[in-house]
Structure 1
């Protein structure tokens, strides 16, 4: 059976099927802290319906916009479903965003109600002239509400409210709002309909042998559940009904180790920087990953030196690593498949560059490469801006429609990514357009440096105007960076400036743990690294 397009009835559909999938969270839900951390389909459907009752009592009506701003957890998806169930438009906003950015996004949303965690409320309370103080803010969790002028309420204030009838919006109208990662500026609010979200889920609904979950699988994901990726993930997993779905909202190594030990997943999905943060776990306790048959990474480019210890820890000889290329605005575009053999280290600190992706998904997405100045299509092998045509492209940037229109060229969407297509039509990702390095690739340089610098937790290579690019290196706790070997390490790489070493915790990150490169440039100062060329700002 095909799942419904609208997330508002997804959980009812799952409960009606009678499958025994159990969803596990790493901590109790903020919307129902007394219900524990494990939920069968019936419990999730009931929780979504109950949540729609207090949302309606708080003022959510058909057509209302609802801001959902909270700490990362499964219940972000439940709140969105409950809002859509009664015809509201949920906007899921990660609490990891900067306070000013949260305020800006909520201002563009113009919500009737804001559902918010105490940590996020404390953040926006520090924003000068916060424009939505008059809007009801339903505060989650049991922690005391911080002193604020914002109008607040608790879920308990609406106890006993009747569950409203299902009142879905048409499939071609906005169903959900998420946001971009915001690596370069304030995240943009991405609007998807049930139709565009389903178009972005088509890949995962294909019965690809070994590529979808089976009833014996335990699927673990540790991503931002406020992100658009989380919606097709839930739909697809409910369709294939694995034994367990493990949703790890806290990316810390301690929590991850506990969840891996308890559930022993067979498939794992996380963002590249989360995998990087988990490397000490897999090195110290490889047995926790021995049963994994498939890894997936989304959101950003993966480095082979980070993937390798996870791949080597698995006892499955047919293990696959799926490196997905997509965007919040588009969904999946292409997928690179890697194996134990293809990820073996090369000689002299070299290895596979995982930015070599496959062909665009047939029948789902088309990709062309254009010159960044003339926007004319490039011949095979010549780098340029990657443009995509797909029915899954978002229908608007809420509050920034002009920017959404600027990124369209007829049916083609400007991804802002920079790369090539080879003679076989395969995508080779080089850099974000705004971060590109002439005649090279920052991503490939980073991969090589991570191979060659022992115990490096992160390496970020920044374009530096006409000067040599700058590498920023973060070492794992307790290890020192060996500057004496820098010349040897970079012997066959493009010229690089003297590196900057800084703690991992000081690297500015987005809600999906991508590096905010523009903010990092600001931290380093213009005397260290120049901003990207103004021309490339078109691709943000």
Structure 2
């Protein structure tokens, strides 16, 4: 089987023409095709992309234009991006889970000719006092809304439009725009070309044992489909064509349980905090995960105490956990496969999964360096991690100055803090903005998650030279003073914990905790003069 085309606009037609294809199983119908059901073969997917390109063209989008796609999470965001690419336009896939004021700012930066938006997103923005309709021609994705969408064009108005001719842009031109998680402020709009996307997907197009899905695999994905990871995932899965691709657009455990009852996966990819949300499910119904041979997490650091119940639920003789380090701007930079035994031993010892493996040879180079000079630090010495490679994004839309500031010569400042060991493997310590003096917040979080039996989330907030403050979410009653003293015995000094329920933690579209916003809540009634390292965000 040949490699797929670089341009997303060709991908689904290409896949439909292959001798072996996959099928999609959805947890709910696409928002752009609510009556079409939850099962798609390759021909139906390709047909929906062509049909969507007709809607965009009829709405006024033309070659070279930018199109905003703002909606709730689902794989149809990728289909709309492919439809835009078919007519030479560039879609910016934006999660509707972002705050309304952030959405307004992102649309202002993007300056789209057409904005496709979900009615739920518009209504939420209206309640918050934000108007998202002045940015190009606004098209409602899922039918007429209440007051916010009165009189707006809808996709239903555009159905049946003539399919425009294929009109692709060059591989060196802009092909897709996604956004960062936005844990500190408004997410950045990350611009990629077909060339930079392919450079970031080359790894997954290689026939890597275990990590690549075979013809008998059933692959489940529960990620943010607005994120650049979704583009790479789609490209790779249509290349390898497993038996089925299962789309869990909702991360909630009850919704995932229903789709797992229908299709038992052999491989699962989700974000660390999504796996964290599923822990009660895997403990209650381990049989749902019995066939899984390979887990994969992206977007954030994984804790071994969270991974352990999933690998234990698998009935496979050998199960592997793929831990990947990357970011929207660069794509994958390093990765490591943890076995069931390694995860169980690390969890039992209160260890972590901060060792991310070696940088991918031939794809990207990584160094730990002084953030001011860019000079490499010694092996084992902590520095800011810089990357070099062809997969790095070509701009931040509307923030080119910010993009330029991230470069130190030919090296890109990732904003992550870590070090290289004697074997050249990357050890992640913290995001620069979250680092605590003389230690690692992520290591403390792993340790506390393992020690507290009913913990579902632990966030350690730095406070300058003062003791860090742990924020703890529990599946049960709060810990008393004696219990807290016992679980923190032998750890670096910490302030008294702040207990906050899971669903009250502020989160991004990729379910990362918005730590800066959390700080404002936790320290609302006490002075917080902590200076956060935000130069590299």
**For this structure pair, what is the TM-score category when the shorter chain's length is used for normalisation?**
over 0.9
**Deviation by residue 1:487-519 (Cα, 9 ceiling, x = unmatched):** 221122111111100111111000000010000
- How many residue pairs get aligned? The number is 536
Q: Is the 8 A contact 1:8 1:168 kept in 2?
A: yes
Q: Determine the structure 1 residue equivalent to 2:349.
A: 350
Matches within 5 A, 1:505-516: 505-516=503-514
> Following TM superposition, by how much is the alpha carbon of 1:375 offset from its aligned partner in structure 2, in angstroms?
3.6
Once the two structures are overlaid, the 10-residue window that deviates more, 433-442 or 271-280, is: 433-442
* Structure 1: gaps spanning 5 or more residues: none
Match of 1:483 among 481, 484, 491: 481
Q: Determine the structure 1 residue equivalent to 2:76.
A: 75
Matches within 5 A, 1:60-71: 60-71=61-72
> Following TM superposition, by how much is the alpha carbon of 1:479 offset from its aligned partner in structure 2, in angstroms?
3.6
Once the two structures are overlaid, the 10-residue window that deviates more, 516-525 or 484-493, is: 484-493
Q: What is the Cα-based RMSD across aligned positions, in Å?
A: 1.6
Measured at CA, do residues 456 and 18 of structure 1 come closer, stay the same or move farther in structure 2, by a change above 3 Å?
Answer: same
Q: Is the 8 A contact 2:449 2:457 kept in 1?
A: yes
Q: Is the 8 A contact 2:119 2:149 kept in 1?
A: no
Q: Is the 8 A contact 2:21 2:238 kept in 1?
A: no
What is the rounded CA distance, in whole Å, between the counterparts of 1:531 and 1:119 in structure 2? 38
What is the rounded CA distance, in whole Å, between the counterparts of 1:425 and 1:530 in structure 2? 38
Matches within 5 A, 1:294-443: 294-345=294-345, 350-443=349-442
What is the rounded CA distance, in whole Å, between the counterparts of 1:251 and 1:75 in structure 2? 16
What is the rounded CA distance, in whole Å, between the counterparts of 1:150 and 1:107 in structure 2? 22
> Following TM superposition, by how much is the alpha carbon of 1:376 offset from its aligned partner in structure 2, in angstroms?
2.4
What is the rounded CA distance, in whole Å, between the counterparts of 1:525 and 1:286 in structure 2? 39
Q: Determine the structure 2 residue equivalent to 1:447.
A: 446
Q: Is the 8 A contact 2:358 2:424 kept in 1?
A: yes
Q: Is the 8 A contact 1:434 1:532 kept in 2?
A: no
Q: Determine the structure 1 residue equivalent to 2:98.
A: 97
> Following TM superposition, by how much is the alpha carbon of 1:130 offset from its aligned partner in structure 2, in angstroms?
3.2
> Following TM superposition, by how much is the alpha carbon of 1:140 offset from its aligned partner in structure 2, in angstroms?
1.8
Secondary structure, in 3 states, of the residue corresponding to 1:484? helix
Q: Is the 8 A contact 1:342 1:352 kept in 2?
A: no
Q: Is the 8 A contact 2:103 2:132 kept in 1?
A: no
Q: Is the 8 A contact 1:99 1:126 kept in 2?
A: no
Q: Determine the structure 2 residue equivalent to 1:193.
A: 193
What is the rounded CA distance, in whole Å, between the counterparts of 1:149 and 1:400 in structure 2? 30
What is the rounded CA distance, in whole Å, between the counterparts of 2:75 and 2:149 in structure 1? 29
Once the two structures are overlaid, the 10-residue window that deviates more, 384-393 or 478-487, is: 478-487
**Deviation by residue 1:37-72 (Cα, 9 ceiling, x = unmatched):** 110000000000001111100111111110000010
Once the two structures are overlaid, the 10-residue window that deviates more, 206-215 or 222-231, is: 206-215
Measured at CA, do residues 220 and 149 of structure 1 come closer, stay the same or move farther in structure 2, by a change above 3 Å?
Answer: closer
Measured at CA, do residues 62 and 277 of structure 1 come closer, stay the same or move farther in structure 2, by a change above 3 Å?
Answer: same
> Following TM superposition, by how much is the alpha carbon of 1:158 offset from its aligned partner in structure 2, in angstroms?
1.8
Q: Is the 8 A contact 1:171 1:193 kept in 2?
A: yes
Secondary structure, in 3 states, of the residue corresponding to 2:226? coil
Measured at CA, do residues 338 and 161 of structure 1 come closer, stay the same or move farther in structure 2, by a change above 3 Å?
Answer: same
> Following TM superposition, by how much is the alpha carbon of 1:442 offset from its aligned partner in structure 2, in angstroms?
0.3
What is the rounded CA distance, in whole Å, between the counterparts of 2:67 and 2:308 in structure 1? 42
Q: Is the 8 A contact 1:134 1:151 kept in 2?
A: no
Measured at CA, do residues 244 and 321 of structure 1 come closer, stay the same or move farther in structure 2, by a change above 3 Å?
Answer: same
Q: Is the 8 A contact 2:114 2:135 kept in 1?
A: no
Secondary structure, in 3 states, of the residue corresponding to 1:69? strand
What is the rounded CA distance, in whole Å, between the counterparts of 2:149 and 2:429 in structure 1? 47
Q: Is the 8 A contact 1:108 1:399 kept in 2?
A: yes
TM-score, reference length from structure 2: 0.97
Measured at CA, do residues 259 and 483 of structure 1 come closer, stay the same or move farther in structure 2, by a change above 3 Å?
Answer: farther
What is the rounded CA distance, in whole Å, between the counterparts of 1:483 and 1:515 in structure 2? 26
> Following TM superposition, by how much is the alpha carbon of 1:247 offset from its aligned partner in structure 2, in angstroms?
1.0
Q: Is the 8 A contact 1:292 1:316 kept in 2?
A: yes
Q: Determine the structure 1 residue equivalent to 2:472.
A: 473
Secondary structure, in 3 states, of the residue corresponding to 1:342? helix
> Following TM superposition, by how much is the alpha carbon of 1:523 offset from its aligned partner in structure 2, in angstroms?
0.9
Measured at CA, do residues 202 and 150 of structure 1 come closer, stay the same or move farther in structure 2, by a change above 3 Å?
Answer: farther
Pairing 1:503–2:504 present: no
What is the rounded CA distance, in whole Å, between the counterparts of 1:21 and 1:29 in structure 2? 17
What is the rounded CA distance, in whole Å, between the counterparts of 1:464 and 1:387 in structure 2? 26
> Following TM superposition, by how much is the alpha carbon of 1:291 offset from its aligned partner in structure 2, in angstroms?
0.8
Pairing 1:521–2:522 present: no
Measured at CA, do residues 275 and 531 of structure 1 come closer, stay the same or move farther in structure 2, by a change above 3 Å?
Answer: farther
What is the rounded CA distance, in whole Å, between the counterparts of 1:107 and 1:470 in structure 2? 36
What is the rounded CA distance, in whole Å, between the counterparts of 2:372 and 2:169 in structure 1? 41
> Following TM superposition, by how much is the alpha carbon of 1:475 offset from its aligned partner in structure 2, in angstroms?
0.7
**Deviation by residue 1:335-374 (Cα, 9 ceiling, x = unmatched):** 0210011011469x63331111100000011111112454
Q: Is the 8 A contact 1:290 1:314 kept in 2?
A: yes
